[in-house]
Amino acid sequence: MRESGILFHITSLPSPYGIGTLGKAAYEFVDFLKKSGQSYWQVLPIGPTSYGDSPYQSFSAFAGNPYFIDLDILIEEKLLLIDECEEYKRPVSENIDYKWLYDTRFKLYKKAYKRFLSMYSQKEFDDFKKEKSFWLNDYALFMAIKGIMPEGNWLSWDCEYAKKESNAIRNFSKNHFEEIDFWKFIQYTFFRQWNSLKEYANDKGIKIIGDMPIYVAYDSSDVWSDPKNWLLDEELKPTVVAGVPPDFFAVTGQLWGNPIYNYELMKKNGYDWWITRISESFKLFDVVRIDHFRGFESFYSIPAGDKTAEFGKWEKGPGIDLFNKIKEKLGDLDIIAEDLGFLTEDVYELLRQSGFPGMKILQFGFDPNGDSEYLPHNYTNNSICYTGTHDNMTLKEWLQDISKEGFDFVCEYLDVDINTEIDIIIDKLIKLLLSSVSKIAIIPLRDYLHLGKEGRFNIPSTLGGNWVWRATDAMLTDELAEKICKFTKVYRR
């Protein structure tokens, strides 16, 4: 069966408190998907974001983003008062201000926490803490220490806190129980709201596709609490960091800065960390897209301290051995492999061995001088096709930006006149994707909305101004839902 869905991150929902949340607007978007005849809602990573606000740099591989907690739900539960939340409302048309969220949101959550302790039975909370203790204890401790330390990663903390196994840490845990418990409450609240939304979506026939970054941030509870799983030196500094080499889009490459896994040790331990991470991801999502899948075949290793990604080298990753172990422990899973970037025959072979569908990006296909695996006539059934990803331009911006030769080829491929209105061309490109043999077609909402540059979500290798776009209520109309549903029915998705 061929199906379709929409890519639209939680942050971009038209919620009233400065950022998209797991409240009313999220439920209404599920209804919009149902009305549109869709089967999938794809989101970006939902972990707590750190410096730069990227969902691909998180304080934890397991925790949820506190900003997604819906204040109106807390009001309904009598954990917050209407008056307390009123001043935190912002026009939905405004971009997300992450600094403002950081400065204000946790003050409200602390009020909710104190009321929760006095008003509600703690049994469910205690059960949650027990169930998630394998990551929650370290994460809550990490965030509590972060609250009293200067800005910066954990290595900049006072030396007695930089190592988890120390008397200072044990004393801190005893003396700051309430602060640590507060961070556990934040996660308890997030997971309750997330699980409720997911159940609602599933009941409506909508599956959620989650996004799992291949790497974790250096400034994370994962690395701080168990540094042996990463390639660090005796001072716990990374010896090498992740990224990708120079290409047409980034002439000095992309320096991500994430620490690289100690795969040799992980293999000796039966890849337990990865098995746990994948297992927990499938408790949150119905399908998991693994970002930068090619890094499991070979990863690009850059000397720590380099200012660009120009002088890294490719090193062998764990390959199919890791995924065989995951399958052995967890069975067959609905995984999407983000197989974009510099691909070799070995990467294609790993994809074949895994059986996971790869990704086809329409914008990548239009080379007027040659064929491309990203043109729809070359798609295979075992693939997930997209007009573009969160890193790409919108279709409108892309059409306005490509060369005349490239634009002429688009029109020739679509069999339309070069003077055709750009909005008509956008719809034809979407229909082209929906008509392909790929088993799932995912369209970013911004392309259905025909947004131009104003709808761009992220520009890779840049800091600031990314991840801030939001939709408004006026965009998610019945007319748009009917149009999407019509497209979907025509191409039997």
Q: Which of 53, 291, 339, 447 is catalytic?
A: 291
Q: Taken in order 350, 351, 354, 359, is the CA torsion positive or negative? A: positive
Told to judge if 328 belongs to the known catalytic residues of this protein, a careful annotator would answer no
Q: Which of 306, 373, 391, 427 is catalytic?
A: 391
Told to judge if 391 belongs to the known catalytic residues of this protein, a careful annotator would answer yes
Nearest CA to 338 among 388, 288, 291, 392? 291
The DSSP bridge partners found for residue 337 are: 290
Q: Both tokens of residue 186? A: 């934040």
Q: Which of 338, 339, 397, 447 is catalytic?
A: 338
Q: How many Cα atoms occupy the beta-carbon half-sphere of 472 within 13 Å?
A: 10
Say how far apart CA 326 and CA 324 lie, in whole Å.
Answer: 5
- Which residues lie closer than 8 Å to 131 by C-beta, 6 or more apart? none
Say how far apart CA 150 and CA 326 lie, in whole Å.
Answer: 39
- By the 10 Å C-beta count (0-12 exposed, 13-18 middle, 19+ buried), 416 is classed as middle
Told to judge if 401 belongs to the known catalytic residues of this protein, a careful annotator would answer no
Question: How far apart are the two ends of the chain, measured CA to CA in Å?
Answer: 8
Residue 441: phi and psi, rounded to 5, are: -115, 125
- Which residues lie closer than 8 Å to 62 by C-beta, 6 or more apart? 47, 132, 135, 136, 139, 222, 277, 280
Residue type for 338, please? E
Longest CA pairwise span in the chain (Å): 73
Active site residues: 291, 338, 391
